[in-house]
Amino acid sequence: MIKTAIFSAIAVAASAKAACKNDHLSWKTSWGACPTYAKGKMNYNWCKWDKSGGLYAKEVCPQCGTCVSAKKVKKTAFPTRFPTAFPTALVCNSKTYNSVWGKCATYTFGKPNHNYCKSDFSKHMKSCTADKACKECVKPSFGMCKANPAQKWNAGWGLCKTYAKGKANNFWCDKDQKDGVYAHEACAECNLCTAETDAKSCKDWNCAQWCQYYDSKFDAIYAEAGCNDDGEECKCDEPKPLPIAPVSTKCECRQCGSAVAFPYGGGNCGVASATCSATVGGAGCYSSASSGCDCKSLTTL
């Protein structure tokens, strides 16, 4: 009687499980089919996380132990002669990376996951962290810092010095902004832009910035940083050359022996010659300019 009661309790508990949805024989996620979600298999711990077609593995696969299915695995008539090949080794790259928090695209600079590039890892490969797999984790460079006159930029949470590494606002470098300028664009302390007053940043300067920031007292620092001064390349002190007036390209097409324009409407006339000019008549035409003339546009060739 006791054994019967125990078995009855087990049967009741089993029947209390929800019925599995979909077809566990054909359903699969990008990480594998239902058999891979059985206890002891690689995907078992992800039964409640992995999803396909709007359903989680725990809702479809009886192997997860949270639902039951009337369908049984089909057996082939004869076992295969040779074992199937071993699965390929897991690869850590932008195509395979997928953490509990999202794929590589969610780790782009400025998005919530970017600050967790070093700590987040792919669901099926703990050694595959986002910073190893995703190019989105690479911090961009914003060149020279801007909109920070006299180091007074402040979005309401503190000056730039509070955005230095280890300081309270460092985490918010890509989020705090004032008038459309983010902390990482204004503050050298975020380590994404270069301070205008830092002579060691000369490699990032263009000619206009060389002319604006160059100071001879920093020549030794420029040389140490591997920069050229404003000398021959930028020519900061030279006045801008006056614009050259455009040369007139207008011309007329004239008949040989005539000094009056003729409305040909097309074709070309060559320069005047000993056989065709204003004073020498004959078949053909000549240009009023020192070069040939396009009779349609009336411009020199």
pLDDT of residue 142: 62
Q: Which amino acid is at 190?
A: C
Is residue 27, in this structure, part of any structural domain at all?
yes
Q: How far is Cα 227 from Cα 207, in angstroms, rounded to an integer?
A: 12
Is residue 297, in this structure, part of any structural domain at all?
yes
Is residue 241, in this structure, part of any structural domain at all?
no
Q: Are residues 58 and 23 in the same domain?
A: yes
Closest residue by Cα to residue 111 from 180, 174, 177, 171: 174
Structural domain including 118 reads: 104-137
Is residue 228, in this structure, part of any structural domain at all?
yes
Is residue 154, in this structure, part of any structural domain at all?
yes
pLDDT of residue 71: 64
Q: Are residues 38 and 62 in the same domain?
A: yes
Q: Provide CB contacts within 8 A for 164, sequence distance 6+.
A: 170, 189
Mean pLDDT of successive 10-residue stretches along the chain, which has 301 residues = 49 66 88 88 89 92 88 52 52 88 87 85 88 84 70 88 88 87 86 68 68 68 66 56 61 91 90 90 89 89 82
State the number of CA atoms in the 13 A half-sphere of 7 facing the CB.
4
Is residue 32, in this structure, part of any structural domain at all?
yes
pLDDT of residue 287: 92
pLDDT of residue 223: 74
Q: Are residues 186 and 204 in the same domain?
A: no
Q: How far apart are the first and last CA of the chain?
A: 114
pLDDT of residue 187: 87
Q: How far is Cα 286 from Cα 301, in angstroms, rounded to an integer?
A: 13
**Which run of H or of E encompasses 8?**
helix 2-15
Is residue 86, in this structure, part of any structural domain at all?
no
Q: Are 111 and 134 in contact (CB under 8 A)?
A: no
- Counting the structural domains of the chain, the total is 5
Q: Are residues 171 and 211 in the same domain?
A: no
pLDDT of residue 7: 46
pLDDT of residue 14: 47
Is residue 93, in this structure, part of any structural domain at all?
no
Q: Are residues 272 and 301 in the same domain?
A: yes
